[in-house]
Amino acid sequence: MHETTLILIEVGALLLGMSLLGRLAIRIGISPIPFYLVVGLLFGEGGIVPLDASEDFFQVGSEIGVILLLALLGLEYTAQELLTNLRQSRTAGLIDGLFNALPGALLALLLGWGPVAAVALAGVTWVSSSGVVAKMLRDLGRLSNRETPVVLAILVIEDLAMAFYLPILAALVVGVSLLQGAIAVAIAVGVVAVILYIALRHGSVISRIFTPEHPEPLLLGVLGLTMLVAGLAAEVNVSSAVGAFLVGIAVSGRVAQRASQVLTPLRDLFAAVFFVFFGLTTDASELTAMLIPAALLAVATMATKVASGYIAARRAGIGVPGRWRAGLALTPRGEFSIVIAGLALSAGVEPRLAPLATAYVLITVVVGPFLARIPDTAWFKDAVRRRRRAIAS
């Protein structure tokens, strides 16, 4: 069979299956993310029928999915709102880093993997998945909730912190000089500062490049600019997700509203592809040996993530239900954790780190969407009301 024909068959069959699973998820009232991951595992490395022909399609599509998720989140907020949230969440970002990086580092040291592996595993457990969290917020209808800006601020702080962390980790694993590592960090931070400055000072100029009256040029223009900036950001070791988010922040007014409308179907398609690709690239046969330590680490760091999100929302004046929603929404880890583990593995730091990170991410990504729904349950709302009455009396 011709390779192009095989790609069409594989992609078409997967998309059709994902559609049916999405309808099932809607019917039973949960996020479709776990179903998409299971599909990827079933047809990935070590699965029942590995799909090799369409791997490149899903790889590129997954990168576009994360970019679109963050770009459309950025369209929901202005640059001034972003800066205000970042200022208010500085302390919360520090608490988030300490709470969630330390368990990973401690486990690596307890396992005898050494200090470099400890730095790598600290990054794996620290950063929430912007893609997963963004999709959960949209699926649960929480984009306009009061706690959502707090969640987004923590995500942006974490992604911006990666501009410092990734060059430092790269320097540690390959053994480059301190000067080379410092230069890489300086370049990454400079790029973020330039993008943020343009978004703040010249966002209206960027918006005037596009016209909201014509959907096709608007779609092509905003998508092209987003991918261009995301690619340039990734080239200098800044998260492509950060670049995409800042482009969304820069676009404002009617252009932002219309861009959100025309880009939403593309986001839905490629966001689903992102989660399937994550499963496709995971070898299920390598996960079993690390399931127990990964599960213990997941339980510990989901608890610390809930605590850091709760504290951040409380500092922002959010009510008790919103604090729990913020903390529970932040529990999934994802794309950054896999990137960090891959970087350490390629440098020969610790071969067991990759399967541990993969099992850990899968657990948090599967459990996270279920945890995020807890504040919407009747028993949780009753418990909050009983606690309020107990405090009042």
Q: Two tokens at 274?
A: 């992102």
pLDDT at 60: 85
Tell me how long the chain is.
393
CA torsion through residues 244, 247, 249, 252, sign: negative
Distances (CA, A) of 254 to 19, 165, 257: 32, 37, 5
Q: Please name the residue ranges forming H helices in the chain.
A: 3-28, 33-43, 55-75, 79-88, 90-110, 115-126, 130-139, 148-174, 178-201, 203-208, 215-235, 240-250, 253-280, 291-315, 320-329, 335-346, 353-372, 378-392
Please check whether residue 361 is in contact with residue 334, taking contact to mean a CB–CB distance below 8 angstroms.
yes
53, burial (CB in 10 Å: exposed 0-12, middle 13-18, buried 19+): middle
pLDDT tens for each residue of 258-306: 898 899 898 888 888 877 877 777 666 777 788 899 999 999 999 999 9
State the DSSP code for 212: T
**Confidence band (pLDDT; 50, 70, 90) for 239?**
low
| C-alpha–C-alpha distance, residues 366 and 5, integer Å | 33
Residue, of 81 and 149, whose pLDDT is higher: 149
| C-alpha–C-alpha distance, residues 226 and 122, integer Å | 30
| C-alpha–C-alpha distance, residues 60 and 63, integer Å | 5
pLDDT at 302: 96
Residues whose CB is less than 8 angstroms from the CB of residue 121 and which lie 6 or more positions away in sequence, other chains included: 104, 105, 107, 108, 113, 353, 356, 357
The proportion of the chain whose per-residue pLDDT surpasses 70, expressed as a percent, equals: 87
Tell me which residue has tokens 């950001």: 233
pLDDT tens for each residue of 191-203: 777 777 777 777 7
| Residue-wise DSSP of 102-120 | HHHHHHHHHTT--HHHHHH
**What CATH topology corresponds to 61-381?**
Na+/H+ antiporter like fold (1.20.1530)
In angstroms and rounded to an integer, the radius of gyration of the C-alpha atoms of the chain is 21
pLDDT tens for each residue of 23-34: 887 787 666 777
pLDDT at 215: 87
Residue type, 294: A
Structural domain spans, the chain? 61-381
Longest alpha-carbon distance in the chain: 74
